[in-house]
Structure 1
Amino acid sequence: MRFALMVSTIVLVVLLGTCHGCLEHERNALLQLFSYFANGSSYIPNTADCCHWRFPDFYEGALGKLPLSECALKPTCSCYHNIFVDCNDTAGRVTDLVLDFMIGDLYLNTSLFLPFKGLRNLELTGLEIVGFAENEGFHKLSKLKNLESLDLSCNRLSIVSSEGLCELRHLRSLSLSNNDLNGSLPWCLANMTFLQNLDLSYNQISGDISFSPIKNLTSIQWLDVSWNRFKVPIPLALFFNHSRLRYLDVRENELYAQREVKDLSPKFQLETLLMSSPVKNATYPEFLYHQHSLREVNLSHIQFVGEFPYWLLENNTDLETLLLSNNSLSGPLQLPIYPHVSLSTLDISRNSIHGHIPSEFGERFPQLTNLNMSTNALNDSIPSSFGMLTALTVLDLSNNKLCGGIEEGLFMNMKTLYFLNLGGNQISGNIPDSLSHLFYLNVLDISHNNLSGHIPEGIGSLSSLQILDLSKNNLSGHIPEGIGSLSSLQILDLSKNNLSGPLPTNFCLPQMSQLKLSNNKLFGSLTEVFCDCRSLITLDLGHNHFTSNIPDWIHRCSQLKFLLLSHNNLQGKIPIQLCALDQLNLIDLSNNNLLGRILPCLRAGSNSVEAIITLSEEQRPLEFTEKNLSQIYQASILKYISGIDLSCNNLTGEIPPEIGNLSKIQVLNLSYNSLTGPIPVMFVNLKQIESLDLSYNKLYGQIPSQLTELTFLSAFSVAHNNLSGVTPAQNFQFATFNESSYEGNPLLCGKPLPKRCDDREPSSLSMPRTEEESKEDNGFMDMEAFYVSFLVSHVMVLLVIAAVLYINPYWRRLCFAFIEATTSNFYYFLLDHLPLLSKFGLS
């Protein structure tokens, strides 16, 4: 009975001592705090007990209406609002307070947190804090004796030392990541001897980390100083006394080599080591040989020399992730003696490892889920033991020298494989039908090999496939109808094969953004094939045998940026619907049988910055002719290039002056057509033009002298036209063009042509002048012709008179009587006037 009474008393005391809710003064302090952050709003949450306040309680209130910050530009920062309050179950005091939403240019008042005496964890992330109110620095928080964790990440703090942070000596966890901190760390941080977790990543802090206060923080267990400007010695000797250190991230700083201290081994046993940034002729640091607890290692981009560190796997049997990409590793691939069952991710890409892949590879790493061995010099065939890697989700063996065929059952048991890249090798034979059983496959790339035979019909069953690249092989036959049922397909590249036949009727897929079928033997009409491909960004059908007109439905592809239809047998006029595509960057319709005029509304080269930013990272390279050279442009260049190529067609009429408004265009090729008229003066507005080819047309008139203002022009040709006058002045870029740019224009003169211009001939003549026009400009008659015509006319008159007198006697008698009378009168005239003339001395 006494025992039961004692138990009842204890239970009653416990129940009475338990607080069911937060303290009233802390609840009021929270409301005041939220009002401060919500710009004075007095919103009251639905739940009375502040110990259970969460963000949804505020979502419809003032806090929920705050705009999101530009968090996407800050790595590791959340793009969502978050409010979280937690209390001690017995005392009812607030112990955890999380505020994560954007305020904008906030100067923090730390006194608002002083009422929370039991506060242990304070997170003020993403508030855009730029500083502190007057006399309201970190030193005020030192009064919170229970505060152990402070997170101020994703703000805009720029200084640390002057705000009293070092007074928080009792902190165990501090995060200042994703701020604007710069300069060196204040030495007073060395007094924070209880600190176990320190995150300074994504700032601009500088200085040699060997001479920073971090060297004295020997209680540190978790340290992240990545993405700063620290100088970090690769041997990491400064951390040798940090016996509790388990996690170290020094990526994207300035690593440098340092002489190793002999017989000095570290006291720590790391579990995670993340290092990067290039160091010339770097070798593996000595401390790595003493590590036995590693689980994650990233030593990418350091340029380590030597062989594959198989000993790292033998010494660390729990190692799960090993990343060694972009180093200078060489030699054959040597594996650990015993199977390593813990390794799930191995990346040795972009090295110089050569030789064959060991036949026992699959036996050594049976639990691999991610394997990347791309861009090395591995040769021979893929070993059959790869069939034991049943847990693989990612396999990348691209850009090696692998040869032989793909075994039929090699990938049969990789049921979870979603990324397979074997491109850029020398693999031959047929594509195995077993690939059709990889139902989770998202990416299949076997391009740049020597594969032959047909494309398996079973590929149409890969319903999850998003990228299919079989380009640059020797595949033949038709394109399987089943590809039209791949509803998730976004990128299809079958270019540079020997595929033939018409395109499947159901070829248009709703998600398809890139379609490359160039350099095959495909034929047929394009009239109804792609009419509903509204997501297309790239359409490359060049170098085939397609006929018919360019379809009118082309305007439905409103996202189209790259339209390449060259080297086909397309006919008819350029459809006016093409003008509705305002996102086009490249248009290549060359080497077809197109006729009619060039559309004045045709455009290429977006002025929008967004068009550059939104170009997919998976954009496939494209082939385009510039400066008379066919070049392959990678995605990084395609973002910035724009051009129009209508060469080698039957286009007529004048060049529309509106083409001169394409101020962003870099390539314009209208050669080998029948264009007439002058070169538009508005071409002077093509400020970004690099290649301009108007050769082999029927253009006439002068070459506009203003073209010399095109300072980026590096390839120019107006050869074989009917141009006249003086060539443009040999200034700027035009001083680099030789005679071949102007040849075939007999009426052109001036450098660099051998023909000099005659100063008497006006240079403004646009057409050759007739002989009659030249005579009129001389101002007098041809005297030789005058004398001949005068003599002939008088002879004719005399002959006519003689003939009349001979035929008619009456007129003859009258003529002789007239002559006789005239002679008598002249005789008597002289007799009467001679005496008078003699008086004046004239006789």
Structure 2
Amino acid sequence: MANLSNLEVLILRDNLLTGRLPIQDLVNLSRLEILDMRGNHFTGSISPYIGALSSAKAISLSDNDFNGDFPTQDLCRLKKLEEFDISDNDFEGILPQCINNMSSLRVLDISNNRFIGNLSSSLVASLSPTTIECIDLSHNLFEGLFSFSLFANHSKLKVVRFMSDNNKLEIETENPVGWTPLFQLTTLVLWNCNMNKLTGNIPKFLFDQHILEVVDFSHNKLKGSFPFWLLENSTRLRLLSLRNNSFEGRFYLQPEHRINVAWMDVSRNHLDGRLQENVGNIMPYLETLNLSRNHFEGDLPSSIGDMSSLTTLDFSFNRFSGKVPKELVSKCTSLNILNLQNNGFHGEIFSKHFKLKALTVLQLDNNQFTGTIPSWIGNCIREFGGVLVMSNNSFEGHIPCGLLSTSLIDLSHNSLTGPLPSCLDKQSNVLLQGNKLTGSIPKALFNSSSLVTLDVRENNLSGTLPVEISTLSNIRILLLRGNNFSGMIPNQVCLLKKIGIMDLSRNSFSGTMPHCFHNITFGKINATDLAFSQTYPIFDIWSPTKTPTYERLLEKNSPDANTYILYDRQVEVEFITKYRSSSYKGGILDYMSGLDLSCNKLTGGIPLELGQLSSIHSLNLSYNQLTGSIPETFSSLASIESLDLSHNYLSGKIPSTLIDLNFMGTFNVAYNNLSGKVPDKYEFGTFENSSYEGNPFLCGPPLENGCTTADKSNPKPRNPLKESERK
């Protein structure tokens, strides 16, 4: 390539090129004006030879894997450079003062790197006021106070993006008072920038901006009433995000206006009152509307149905009430995401008017919806990756078999009846706790390779666990608590290698415990599975890794336009440990581990092999009919935090080696036949009398019984508990 001395344009973007970028081989390309290497997999640092590209006008190295200090002093030798884009890499260092001498620079994009230092006003604002058009310094580690008024004379400035990740950057827009800009911006993003920290005022210079298309002031502490004038003043505005501020009062728009905005997010504020009746007529072109986590109330206006282009609608965590207007579910047929959770809606939503056929996410949980779930619901949720969450309502009837493959189906805490449908075998996470389901678990469900979570706690299911359970090859969470399952726990459960949490408590399982539980990981994730979970979070549904570009947001068919709302429904389960029910959700489920076999009819001794579960956090074998001694091998339960062996017929001494279990916060062996001295060192010195009560032959602190030589005698077995006492 060094022989191509007359080459002026070199574009190798969006390939699969790897290795280091051979800048030194390009130094003889004295006429090279455009170098575009974006969207590859180049690694390593950038050679100082980049300063030898004396004719370069545009350089783009974005979206690679470059790292290290960028040779910024050499960059400043490129006097003709007009466009410079090194975004989406891992560069670090400090911006040099000499960047001010690049008099031709129009575009500067260093976003999504790790540049540091004080973002001094003199450095950035002294970029050529007659040429600079776009500045993007987002997602770096800058800090300091920046006065926006220093841009006042930058007449060609169109795009400014400051998005802070470390909360140490402050943007001041009101000093001096009354300054007037020469620029007309199209895009202004001041995100998490402690904007106007002392006053919380929205920038007043926006009164003079009339061609704005994108405004994002998310994650500041702005306050006051909703700036409706911004929508009327900038008639080209397509995207407005005021997410996570402190705006309050009514969300009021002038009824005589028709606003062209397509994407609006005012979630996480303190807006209240009812939506005005003609809100849909005022904003008919909306594609994304997020009003979640405010204090809105009252019925939804039927005019929302006039927002026929909506793809995302999120009204969750408000105080809306009444019935969902038929116009919404019959006319907004482009909806991909409909989130109405945590409101006071009631009545039947699945009426004959329901015509939403393009849904990826339907979230209706924590309302008062009634009626049955129709068989055609599967035609409304897209296959693969879909989310259906309708928990904590009053739905009744059978679970339909029309559901296709989804990431999450949560129908917990309703009044659903009948058997489990076998068609749930194609789902990833199935949550059905707290219904009135009956019958056995269909064998087809046990043959599923898709299931990651199965939660059917607190139903009326019965039957035995079939040997086919071993084919649940990807199951991580199995929760069968509070049903009527019986019979022996088959050895095939030990083939569920990836299980992290297993709860079989409050059933009628009998017989001896399998000796093979040590074959299950119970929190010990191998490196391959851990890397996969970090790349593709199985318990985080729809959680984007970075903010999409605003240009893509404004593309009608861009997938980012629907996911930027940061829809993040984490799979959440409850598990009883340390005497309380704790909630675990999202990525933490990759690390939480527990086995609960309490409140059954298990007999025989505790398998020695259980001591090999070195990664398990919680083990509960209480309220069974277990005999024998506490295995010495339990001293190898290195990660155990909660161990409950109470209400059994265990005998012998408490192994003194258990004092080496440094993380154990809860220990209970009450109501057994144990004898001898209670360990009292380290964590065992913190346990109270209740951990040991009901064992008359135990002695030593915290018990009142002092230890004597007579305590070495064998105790009489205690009487078995009545069945009513074991539940």
TM-score when scaled to structure 1? 0.76
Verify: 1:553 aligned to 2:468, yes or no.
yes
Report if aligned partners of 2:453, 2:478 keep a CA contact under 8 Å in 1: yes
TM-aligned CA deviation for residue 767 of structure 1: 5.1
Superposed CA offset, 1:433-466 (max 9, x none): 2464211111111111111222234324325262
Q: Which residue of 2 aligns with 1:245?
A: 157
Of 141, 162, 167 in structure 1, the residue corresponding to residue 77 of structure 2 is 167
Q: Using the alignment, how far apart are the partners of 1:527 and 1:453 within structure 2?
A: 25
What is the DSSP-based 3-state SS (H/G/I as helix, E as strand, rest coil) of the residue aligned with 1:491? strand
Judge conservation of contact 1:123–1:152 (CA < 8 Å) in 2. yes
CA separation of 1:768/1:674 partners in 2, compared to 1, >3 Å: closer, same or farther?
closer
Distance 1:242 1:423, change over 3 A: same
Structure 1 distance, partners of 2:716, 2:491, is 37
- Give the structure 1 partner of residue 133 of structure 2: 221
Number of the residue aligned with 2:431:
516
Q: For this pair of structures, how many residues does the alignment match?
A: 667
Determine the structure 1 residue equivalent to 2:691: 741
Kindly indicate whether residue 538 of structure 2 is the aligned counterpart of residue 564 of structure 1. no
Corresponding position: 1:95 with 2:12: no
The answer (yes or no) to whether the contact 2:447–2:469 under 8 Å persists in 1 is: no
Tell me, yes or no, if the aligned pair for 2:600 and 2:623 is still in contact at 8 Å.
yes
1:424-443 to 2 correspondences below 5 Å: 424-434=342-352, 436-443=354-361
CA shift in 2, pair 1:317/1:187, >3 Å: same
State the match for 1:605 in structure 2: 523
Kept in 2, the 8 Å contact 1:428–1:450? The answer is: yes
> C-alpha separation between the residues in 2 aligned to 1:388 and 1:260?
42
1:397 touches 1:422 (CA, 8 Å); kept in 2? yes
Tell me if structure 2 keeps the 8 A contact 1:496–1:520: yes
Aligned-partner Cα distance in 1 for 2:481–2:203 = 56
**CA offset at residue 748 of structure 1?**
0.5
How many Å apart are 1:600 and its aligned residue? 1.7
Q: Which amino acid aligns with 1:192?
A: M
Aligned-partner Cα distance in 1 for 2:67–2:428: 42
Q: Which residue of 2 aligns with 1:700?
A: 651
Q: In the alignment, which residue of structure 1 is the partner of 2:550? A: none
Gap change, CA 1:674 and 1:332, over 3 Å in 2: same
Structure with larger RCO (C-alpha < 8 A, sep 6+) = 2
RMSD (Å), alpha carbons: 2.3
Residue matched to 2:557: none
TM-score by length of 2: 0.87
Alpha carbons of 1:470 and 1:178: their partners in 2 closer, same or farther (altered >3 Å)? Answer: closer
Segments of structure 2 that go 5 or more residues without pairing to the other structure are 542-569, 718-727
Whole-angstrom CA distance in 1 between matches of 2:305 and 2:260: 18
2:289 alignment partner, SS class: strand
Give 2:35's aligned residue.
Answer: 122
Cα displacement (A) at 1:297:
1.2
Question: In the TM superposition, what is the alpha-carbon distance from 1:487 to its structure 2 partner?
Answer: 2.3
Are 1:29 and 2:28 counterparts? no
Q: Which residue number corresponds to residue 61 of structure 2?
A: 152
Q: Counterparts in 2 of 1:553-632, with a 5 A limit?
A: 553-602=468-517, 603=520, 604-609=522-527, 610-611=529-530, 612-613=533-534, 614-618=537-541, 619-632=570-583
Offset at 1:193?
A: 0.6
Are 1:289 and 2:212 counterparts?
Answer: no
Does residue 1:405 correspond to 2:323, yes or no? yes
- Equivalent residue in structure 2 for 1:362, among 280, 284, 296: 280
Per the alignment, do residues 587 and 278 of structure 1 end up closer, same or farther by CA in structure 2, a change over 3 Å counting? farther
- Give the whole-Å Cα distance in 2 for the aligned partners of 1:539 and 1:293: 52
Q: Please list, as runs of the form range in 1=range in 2, the aligned pairs for 1:36-435 lying within 5 A after superposition.
A: 93-98=7-12, 101-104=16-19, 106=20, 108-110=22-24, 112-125=25-38, 126-132=41-47, 137-142=49-54, 145=55, 147-153=56-62, 154-160=64-70, 164-217=74-127, 218=129, 219-231=131-143, 233=145, 236-253=148-165, 254-256=168-170, 258=172, 260-277=175-192, 279=194, 282-434=200-352
- Distance in 2 separating the partners of 1:412 and 1:398: 20
Alpha-carbon contact 1:160-1:186 (below 8 Å) kept: no
Matched, 1:497 2:414: yes
* Cα distance per residue 1:332-363 (max 9 Å; x no partner): 11114443442111111111211111211101
CA distance in 1, matches of 2:442, 2:306: 48
Greater fraction of residues in helix:
1
The structure-2 alpha-carbon separation of the partners of 1:371 and 1:201, relative to structure 1 and needing over 3 Å to count, comes to same
Identity, % of aligned pairs?
Answer: 37
CA distances 1:717-742 after superposition (whole Å, capped 9, x unpaired): 0000000000012x322222110100
Report if the CA contact (8 A) 1:435-1:459 is conserved.
Answer: no
Question: Structure 1: how far apart are the matches of 2:83 and 2:261?
Answer: 31
Task: Please tell me whether the aligned partners of residues 551 and 575 of structure 1 are also in contact (alpha carbons under 8 angstroms).
Answer: yes
Determine if contact 1:436/1:461 at 8 Å carries over to the other structure: no
Contact preservation (8 Å) 2:10, 2:35: yes
Contact 1:725-1:766 at 8 Å conserved across structures: no
Q: CA deviation at 1:688?
A: 1.4
Q: How does 1:683-698 map to 2 (within 5 A)?
A: 683-698=634-649
CA 529–97 in structure 1, closer or farther in 2 if over 3 Å, else same = closer
Segments of structure 1 that go 5 or more residues without pairing to the other structure are 1-25, 34-91, 770-843
Supply the distance in 1 between the matched residues of 2:146 and 2:52 (Cα, whole angstroms). 39
Distance 1:444 1:596, change over 3 A: same
How far is 1:156 from its partner?
A: 3.0
**Higher-Rg member (1/2):** 1
Asked if residue 634 in structure 1 is aligned to residue 588 in structure 2, the reply is no
Residues 209 and 232 in structure 1, CA contact (< 8 A), matched pair in contact too: yes
> In 1, Cα distance between the equivalents of 2:246 and 2:582?
30
Q: Which residue of 2 aligns with 1:470?
A: 390
TM-aligned CA distance change 1:212 to 1:509, over 3 Å: farther
Measure the CA separation in 2 of the matches of 1:587 and 1:193. 65
Contact 2:303-2:327 at 8 Å conserved across structures: no
2:443 corresponds to which letter in structure 1? E
Contact 2:653–2:675 under 8 Å retained in 1: yes
Counterpart amino acid of residue 543 in structure 1: E
